[in-house]
Amino acid sequence: MKKRITVLGSTGSIGTQALQVAQRLGCRITVLTAHSDVKTIESQIRQFNPALAVLYDEQAAQDLKTRVRDLPVKVLSGLEGMCEAAAADTDLVLNSIVGFAGLKPTMAAIQAGHDIALANKETLVAGGSVVMREVARCGVRLLPIDSEHSAIFQCLQGAPPARAVKRLILTASGGPFFGKNSVELENVTPEDALRHPNWSMGAKITIDSATMMNKGLELIEARWLFDVDPENIDIIIHRESVIHSLVEYDDNSMIAQLGVPDMQIPMQYAITWPARVQSNAKSLDLAKIKNLSFYQPDCETFICIDACRRAIERGGLAPAAVNAANEVAVELFLNRKIGFLDIGRLVCKALDYRLPDEADSLEQILQTDKAVREQTIAAAREIMR
């Protein structure tokens, strides 16, 4: 059966690639959402003929309504519209919304009983136990799209019934600043940080890769996706981005997933799982690569990694706090308000704020996110003076 797919965040890097993969697989796109990119989503509506389209920005949504009034598509706006889109009738919700904004739509999709192909790591970073509790209650599946988590998911397909997992190993490219120290990074620009050596991604995710915050976020996400204690999740720098992650089993055997750095592979597997079908990704030629290298991450320079590890070990709302601080800091950096190293400083500072010990509800997570953003902006003002 060809699946009906909802794509949340359809105009971004992941969303546009996901539409290409879904089209090639013969899937039907039932719902599209985006933040405010009217031109791109109009083109997507005309190509895929969804029943529902949503733009978070209300003014942009009004513009879209005018542009597509000749088509039988319902257009909504705002967070309420995004949640309605996530809950609309479909077979799979592919969530590629960037950042914390993806949490409430994810919860709406879960509560509607939909399986989710998850590219929005912040859902589990901030929502963690609350999200997984709803996943269990509603009996839905979370299928990872991030290349690292998809790799682990694939490696676990061969696990015995008791899993026997000793350790998860997340690989990291090291980003554009591998090998540099804090002195060398003091004056880097957004343009410098946006030059990723291996992957083509959106601006926020690319900056997260440069600070290595993305690897800290992935550590937190892996803890929830695979029910593994944080102390049993390691990070290794692998510059070639050929091994996308590994699982070490109790007998000290390691299983790795390899492939070219192409998001088509994890996207397609999330859609077709448990089946595997032919893809448009290039075949990996190991003879041409010749060498695979591995290094320990430099946590003294890239302090976001340890901030995230401390946050998940502390638990409660600490992961939501570091995520909120990071989102504010990245935006300030991209707008040239703070320096590159200030991102890590603001993320670490979030662990000093008074936070509840337990994350008991979605509302509590939302309140914490709002409060930490306000405190991070205040802290950033001190830096900008």
CA nearest to 202, candidates 347, 102, 350: 102
Is the predicted pLDDT of residue 69 greater than 80, yes or no? yes
Is the predicted pLDDT of residue 198 greater than 80, yes or no? no
Instruction: Give the percent of the chain with pLDDT over 90.
Output: 91
Convert the pLDDT of each residue in 131-165 to its tens digit: 999 999 999 999 999 999 999 999 999 899 889 99
- The domains located in the chain, with CATH, are 4-140 (3.40.50.720), 150-384 (1.10.1740.10)
Beta strands across the sheet bearing 243-249: 233-237, 165-172, 243-249, 254-258
- Structure tokens of 37? 């990119």
Beta bridge partners of residue 234, listed in sequence order? 169
Higher-confidence position of 200 and 74: 74
Residue 199: what pLDDT?
Answer: 61
Residue 251: what pLDDT?
Answer: 96
Convert the pLDDT of each residue in 318-330 to its tens digit: 999 999 999 999 9
Burial class (CB in 10 A: 0-12, 13-18, 19+), 331: middle
CA 161 to chain centre: 28
DSSP assignment string, 129-182 = HHHHHHHHHHT--EEE-SHHHHHHHHHGGG--TT--EEEEEEEE--GGGTT--H
CA nearest to 349, candidates 373, 333, 332: 373
Is the predicted pLDDT of residue 196 greater than 80, yes or no? no
Residue 370: what pLDDT?
Answer: 95
Three-class DSSP category at 300: coil
- Length of the chain as a residue count: 385
Confidence band of 376 (pLDDT split at 50, 70, 90)? very high
Is the predicted pLDDT of residue 354 greater than 70, yes or no? yes
d(Cα 97, Cα 105) in Å, to the nearest integer?
9
Helix residue ranges, H only, the chain: 13-24, 38-48, 58-67, 78-87, 103-111, 122-138, 147-155, 182-185, 190-193, 203-211, 213-226, 264-272, 286-289, 304-314, 318-334, 340-349, 362-384
Convert the pLDDT of each residue in 224-269 to its tens digit: 999 999 999 999 999 999 999 999 999 999 999 999 999 999 999 9
* Mean of pLDDT values over 100-110: 96
Residue 195: what pLDDT?
Answer: 83
Is the predicted pLDDT of residue 384 greater than 90, yes or no? no
Per-residue exposure over 198-237, b if at least 16 CB sit within 10 Å of its own CB, e if not: bbebbbbbbbbbbbbbbbbbbbbbbbbbbebebeebebbb
Residue 360: what pLDDT?
Answer: 85
Convert the pLDDT of each residue in 285-318 to its tens digit: 999 998 999 999 999 999 999 999 999 999 999 9
Beta strands across the sheet bearing 74-77: 74-77, 52-55, 28-34, 4-8, 92-95, 115-118, 142-144
322 φψ region: left (φ > 0), alpha (ψ -120 to 50), beta (else) = alpha
Backbone torsions φ then ψ of 31, nearest 5 degrees:
-145, 140
155 neighbors 352 (Cβ within 8 angstroms):
no
Residue 358: what pLDDT?
Answer: 79
Q: Other C-beta atoms within 10 Å of 189: how many?
A: 11
Is the predicted pLDDT of residue 79 greater than 90, yes or no? yes
* Mean of pLDDT values over 349-357: 89
- Tally of CA atoms within 13 A in the half-sphere of 299 that contains its CB: 13
Residue 290: what pLDDT?
Answer: 86
Long-range contacts for 286-291 (Cβ within 8 Å, ≥24 apart)? 286/242, 289/240, 289/242, 291/240
Is the predicted pLDDT of residue 200 greater than 70, yes or no? no
Is the predicted pLDDT of residue 197 greater than 80, yes or no? no
Confidence band of 37 (pLDDT split at 50, 70, 90)? very high
Q: What is the mean pLDDT of the chain?
A: 94
Residue 203: what pLDDT?
Answer: 86
Residue 385: what pLDDT?
Answer: 67
55 neighbors 64 (Cβ within 8 angstroms):
yes
